[in-house]
Structure 1
Amino acid sequence: MLIELTQLRKKIRKQRKQVSVLQQQYSEQHILNRLRHLPEFKHAKHVGIYLHAFGEIQTRKIIEYCFHQKKSVYLPMICNMNQRLVWVKISLHQFYNQRFSYHPFGMQEPMASRGQHVSHLDLLIMPLLACDAFGTRIGMGGGFYDKTLASAPYHRPFRLGLAHAFQLVPQTLIREPWDQPLDALLMPQQFLRFNR
């Protein structure tokens, strides 16, 4: 299983890198169009979201739309003490001026010393490498989202993954006891809800 998972990660990473700029723009716009109508998004006041960095579904338009809808936007920051994520509220000014620092893993993080626990969020919009038809999610391999969500109440936040169509894999992924599944998966042409 370990070899299969390693191969799957490698294959999807390669596919993500090959997504064209035009395809990324198309995917981001179509996902935003679908996201606007989701009840969980409409009712969310506190939204956690990622800054794209590795070929994931891009989030710039979604973040701008959140601000336009007067939602509070939070970005993840890795807490070095326990390798969990905390959620830092950002302003529109901060977002437009790119007031972020680079983590050694390559992604951007907000510059702050403190953040909120994940349970403060109503909606958590998550990146992923792969997902199956049951909501089992594979991330980049650091386990940050799994560790973070393990300490969250069952019903909060709503866990929404964003993905390109090829990231929904036909095989059933083995779910380890520590894996934290999704509530739903949003793709440019498809939306799936799962029974977590």
Structure 2
Amino acid sequence: MSNTLNALRKQLRLKRKRLSRYEQKRAEHQVLIQLRHAIQFKTATKIGLYLHAFGEIQTQKLLELCFQQKKQVYLPMICNMNQTLVWVKISANQYFNKRFSHHALGMKEPMASRGKHVSALDLLIMPLLACDHHGTRIGMGGGFYDRTLATAKHHPYRLGLAHSFQYIDEQLLRQKWDQPLDGLLTPKQQYRFSR
């Protein structure tokens, strides 16, 4: 299965990379409309988000919406000791002034030495490469989200963001360490899963 999974990852990365700037902006706008009306977003105070870097659904407008609605925004930072993610609160000023450091894996991180455990968040909005109808999430392969969420069984609400082609009709093989989603937003639809 690992060869099949690697092939799927490669295929989806390539498809994501080939999206035009217009297609990316349109997808972000459509997801933003759905997120604005999602009950999980409306009731959340502390929201974990990501800074897009690899063709994921872009998050600029989502972050701006959070700041407009006075939500507390947290971004992931890799903890090198145990290869999990901690969540660092950022201000609108930090975001708009682009005060981030560059991680060796290619993404930007908040500049801070300490962060909160993922269970402190109300809503975690995360990227993915693929998701099936059971909420099985396939990430980039580093396992950071899986390791992090393994220590937070019930909180926060786990919401994936994906382009429509990343929702897979066939059932993906869920490994014992894979952490499923509670919901998924694509530009065209919202899905809910039971963990």
Sort the TM-score into its range (normalised by shorter chain): over 0.9
Counterpart for residue 147 of structure 1: 147
Aligned equivalents of 2:88, 2:82: Cα separation in 1: 16
TM-score by length of 1: 0.99
1:180 equivalent to 2:171? Answer no
Counterpart for residue 190 of structure 1: 189
Q: Which runs of 5+ in 1 are unaligned?
A: none
> Any idea what the Cα deviations from partners look like across 1:145-188, whole Å, max 9, x if unmatched?
0000000142x100000000110112211101110000000000
1:117 equivalent to 2:117? Answer yes
TM-score by length of 2: 0.99
Amino acid at match of 1:18: R
Q: CA deviation at 1:2?
A: 1.0
Q: Cα RMSD over matched residues?
A: 0.5
Query: Is the partner of 1:9 in helix, strand or coil?
Result: helix
Counterpart for residue 31 of structure 1: 31
Counterpart for residue 17 of structure 2: 17
Aligned equivalents of 2:2, 2:113: Cα separation in 1: 36
Query: Is the partner of 1:36 in helix, strand or coil?
Result: helix
Query: Is the partner of 2:174 in helix, strand or coil?
Result: coil
Amino acid at match of 1:162: L
Amino acid at match of 1:176: Q
| Amino-acid identity (%) | 64
Amino acid at match of 1:185: L
Aligned equivalents of 1:153, 1:161: Cα separation in 2: 16
